[in-house]
Amino acid sequence: MAEEQGRKWDRCLADSAVKLATGLGVGIVFSVLFFKRRTWPVVFGLGVGLGMGYSNCQQDFRSPYLLHGHMVKEQ
Amino acid sequence: MLRVCLKGANSAARKCLCGNGVPLHPLQQCRSYTSGGSGSSAGKIVAASVLTMGGGVGGTILYANWDPKFRANVEKSIPYSDQVFGLALGPAAPPPVINKPRKVEPVQISSMSEVWKDSKQPKAKEVQRKAEQPDAEGPPAPAPQETLEGEACVFVAMILSAEQNVLSVFCIPLAAAKCTECEHEPAVKERPEGEVAARLAEQDKAEQDLLTSLSSNLEDALGSTAKVTLQAIGAQEAALQAIAQHTRQLREAMEAEAPPDKKSTQWRVLEDALSERSRSVDEAGAAVLKAKAELDKLRGVIDGAKHLKIAAARPSILAAEENLHSMVVDLDSVVTRVQTAQSEAKIVSQYSELVNEAKAQFQKELNSITPEIQANWKGLTGKLTQDDLNSLIAHAHRRIDQLNRELAEQRVREQIHIDSALEQQKLEDKKALEVAISTALEHNREQMRLEQEKKVEETREVMEAEMRTQLRRQAAAHTDHLRDVLKVQEQELRSEAEEILNSSLMEKETEYRRLTQDQLDSFTLDMNAAYARLKGMEEAIDSHVIAEEEARKAHQLWLSVEALNYTLKTAALNDPTEPLEGAVQAIKESCAEDEFAQALATALPSESLSRGVYSEASLRARFYTIRQLARRVALIDETRNSLYQYFLSYLQAMLLFEKAQEAPPAKLSAEDLDTFKLLSYAAYSLEHGDLELAAKLVNQLKGESRRVAQDWLKEARLTLETKQVVSLLSAYANAVGLGTTMAP
């Protein structure tokens, strides 16, 4: 259990890095292709990537506390 | 948002107005339009809000007027609403108090006492009223008293007196006396029968004596009076006879013309008769007096006897009275006869006197005329001369004339005399009649009285007889009743006696049974004691055997437990011990029959058996890393678990400094449940070797810190459990060993 935190952080950071890079890449692509090499899609992509990574990280950290409801069918 | 809306509105307005081609004004218009609109709408809003407020307040007031509960609620909840309500509606009506049932009770009690008082009053009145009656009748009855007994007695007396108006006064003093007896004694004693009988016998005897004396008296008196009366009557008869004789003789003497010597004898006889008559009359008179005296005496005796009022003497008294009456009657009749005879005699004597006088007169005249002629002139026929004869005849004629004249005179005078005598006689007759009537009346009255008395006597006899029969009947009834009562009493007494007999018999029986039982019990007790001792001895021997066996087993157990303990010590620093399975198996074999040891052996957690447990030292070492981690995630729990919170929590862990080790207090308060404090307490207790307390404290962590410390806690638990079981086992083994060595 103590290591879980560490593991989570590792995962989180790795995932965030990946997302960031991916965002950057997609941003660059969009910027080059559709938006006339403006900066903002890149920044937008970075932001999207960061946001996704953050969200995933949070979700991962929250996972033990999340309640999952089940529909109980009457038999 | 509002700016966006406004911008949108502006752009929309611009677009629609751009079509018209006036760019600037619409903006202003729009602005003025919106501001104007906003101004009028504000006024409208204000008006609408004021209206709703007023409506709400008015509605509340109206409803409060209708429903007081609502009013009370509103007054309670809204502070100054009661003043408002007071101004608008007036003060609230106070709630109706329900205390009627409380008041009913005292009313009832008072009514009860009144009823009792009322009931007492008529009683008192009645008592007073009835108290007057006996006062009027006889001796005063006892005053109405407070005690029920007295009242009852009084009541009894009253009732008795009220009912016994007919009975004699005698009874009331008796009742009163009885009542006084009741006051003094709770029950009135009946005089014993013997006493009553003796009394009655005495009374009877006394009566009898009186009666006999009375009767004897009466008889004596009667006898004497009868004798005397008879004597008197006899005397009277004799007198009557004498008088009659005398009268006859007198008449004879008057009428008969006898020669002188006979006449003298006649006269002498007459004188004798007269004397005889006078004597007999005197005698008769005396006898009558004596008889009368005797009769009076008899009457006195009879009256005395009457005064004694003895019922039995009545017939004799009556008889005596009758006799008396008859005697009186006879005496009176005889006396009257004598009197008539006497009156006749008087007449005759008067007549004779008259005749004598006439004769004397004639003689005298004759002598005066013819002196020489003597008395006996009848034989004188030859001696007389014609002159003498003529003179004699003339004298005789003259005498005849004279006599005729005298006769006529006498006749007239006679007539007068007769008349007067008749009248006198009438008077005398009347008197005599009256006297006779009175005497007859008296006699009649006496007779009637006697008859009445006789009748009364008869009825009395009849009544007496009837009363006697009734009394006999009552006595018979009384005897029957007595018989019945006696029978019942006999029954009761018999049953009582039987009961007593039975009970005493049963007592004796139970006593006997008890004694035998006691004997039996004591014998059984002795036997049991002896048997128990025998058993004890046998058991002691057996237990010796068992004890030795136990000792062996205990030794074995102890050895195996020691082995287990040793295995526990084989923990390396960061590795768990060897699995304890082997040692536990040994224990289980060594103590196959011992349930406690078996239970304990099976109570070891399976992980310790299969994997082994960590030592305390390794746990202690691990704790520090856990501590760090827990500090870092102190702020994270179910509600706060975003990444931002994580960041904050890390910041806190960096910036917050707590004591590395702090002694935990005896009781944990709410502020001690802070993560950092708990961790420092746990560290302290770990350093001091108290894994259990550390585990407890770590158990108090919450949220993410708890999750982080979870497996450390699990390990700590395992270790603690195993240690506990092992220590129990060793303690048990020691105890068993000790016990066996201490066995007799």
Q: Which ipTM value was assigned to this complex?
A: 0.85
Q: At residue B182, does pLDDT exceed 90?
A: no
Q: What is the CA radius of gyration of chain B?
A: 81
Highest averaged pLDDT of the listed ranges A23-27, B353-357, B552-556:
A23-27
Q: How far is Cα B294 from Cα B686, in angstroms, rounded to an integer?
A: 158
Q: At residue A50, does pLDDT exceed 90?
A: yes
Q: For residue B177, how many other CB atoms are within 10 A of its CB?
A: 13
Which pLDDT does position B515 carry in this prediction? 97
Each residue's pLDDT tens digit, B561-597: 888 888 887 766 667 777 778 888 888 887 777 788 8
With beta carbons less than 8 A apart as the criterion, state whether B151 and B144 touch.
yes
**B725: CB partners within 8 A, 6+ apart:** B600, B603, B604
In this prediction, what percent of chain B has a pLDDT beyond 90?
Answer: 21
Mean pLDDT of B514-532: 96
Which pLDDT does position B267 carry in this prediction? 73
CB contact under 8 A, B711 and A5: no
Which pLDDT does position B149 carry in this prediction? 45
With beta carbons less than 8 A apart as the criterion, state whether B284 and B242 touch.
no
Each residue's pLDDT tens digit, B438-447: 888 888 888 8
**A17: CB partners within 8 A, 6+ apart:** A53
Q: At residue B435, does pLDDT exceed 50?
A: yes
Q: At residue B645, does pLDDT exceed 60?
A: yes
Q: How much is the mean pLDDT over chain B?
A: 77
Query: Which residue in A2, A54, A57 is closest to B708 by CB distance?
Result: A2
CB contact under 8 A, B708 and A62: no
**pTM of the predicted structure, to 2 decimals:** 0.36
Mean pLDDT of B54-65: 92
Question: When comparing pLDDT for B350 and B45, which is higher?
Answer: B45
B113 has a chain A CB within 8 A of its CB: no
Which pLDDT does position B143 carry in this prediction? 41
Residues from chain A that touch B717, judged by Cβ atoms under 8 A, are none
| Mutation site, B574, B618, B625, B629, interface A, largest A CB count within 10 A | B629
Which pLDDT does position B580 carry in this prediction? 78
With beta carbons less than 8 A apart as the criterion, state whether B253 and B273 touch.
no
Q: Read off the pLDDT band of B375 (50, 70, 90).
A: very low
Comparing alpha-carbon positions, the chain B residue that sits nearest to A53 is B643
Residues from chain B that touch A66, judged by Cβ atoms under 8 A, are none
Q: At residue B405, does pLDDT exceed 90?
A: no
Q: For residue B263, how many other CB atoms are within 10 A of its CB?
A: 14
Highest averaged pLDDT of the listed ranges B286-295, B527-536, B545-554:
B527-536
Which pLDDT does position B196 carry in this prediction? 83
Q: How much is the mean pLDDT over chain A?
A: 88
CB pairs under 8 A between A and B: 34
- In the block, which residue shows the tokens 């003093």? B173
Q: At residue B156, does pLDDT exceed 50?
A: no
Q: Annotate B117-149 with b (16+ C-beta within 10 A) or e (fewer).
A: eeeeeeeeeebeebbeebeeebeebbebeeeee
Q: How far is A60 from chain B (nearest CA, A)?
A: 10
CB contact under 8 A, A2 and B646: no
Q: Read off the pLDDT band of B346 (50, 70, 90).
A: confident
Comparing alpha-carbon positions, the chain A residue that sits nearest to B632 is A5
Tokens representing B59? Answer: 């509605």
With beta carbons less than 8 A apart as the criterion, state whether B315 and B217 touch.
no
Each residue's pLDDT tens digit, B319-336: 877 887 788 888 788 778
Q: How far is A33 from chain B (nearest CA, A)?
A: 32
Query: Which residue in A2, A4, A58 is closest to B643 by CB distance?
Result: A58
B708 has a chain A CB within 8 A of its CB: yes
Which pLDDT does position B342 carry in this prediction? 79
Q: How far is Cα B52 from Cα B72, in angstroms, rounded to an integer?
A: 23
Query: Which residue in A2, A54, A64 is closest to B643 by CB distance?
Result: A54
Comparing alpha-carbon positions, the chain A residue that sits nearest to B630 is A2
Which pLDDT does position B316 carry in this prediction? 75
